[in-house]
């Protein structure tokens, strides 16, 4: 779960859309076993780098592996924005 604390109305955009695909704000994303979260948080605290859990990874028996962005009401969002790995023309 990503908590959105921005107002997209100033940019004429939906706040969740803006948070997911709207700019030059970068964060690192890591997938850790639950038991590793607190030790990682303590290690990062020494560098004044916060670690914030934002969700869980779960297997879906009825789908291929992948990631989804979902709105609070459950609707799936289409990922947009710049993809540095996309080849030109694709």
Mean pLDDT, residues 59-86 taken together: 76
List, for residues 35-54, the tens digit of each pLDDT value.
Answer: 999 999 999 998 988 888 87
Q: Which residue has the higher pLDDT, 79 or 64?
A: 64
How high is the pLDDT of residue 64? Answer: 77
Task: Give the SS3 label for residue 51.
Answer: coil
- Residue 48, by phi and psi: left (phi above 0), alpha (psi -120 to 50) or beta? left
Residue 22 has pLDDT above 70, yes or no: no
């Amino acid at each position: 779960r990503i908590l959105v604390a921005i107002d997209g109305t100033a940019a004429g955009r939906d706040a969740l859309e803006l948070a997911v695909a709207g700019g030059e704000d970068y964060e690192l994303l890591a997938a850790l076993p639950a038991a590793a979260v607190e030790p990682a948080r303590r290690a990062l605290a020494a560098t004044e780098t916060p670690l914030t859990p934002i969700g869980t990874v779960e297997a879906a028996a009825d789908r291929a592996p992948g990631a989804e962005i979902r709105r609070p009401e459950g609707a799936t969002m289409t990922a947009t924005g710049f993809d540095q790995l996309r080849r030109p023309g694709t």
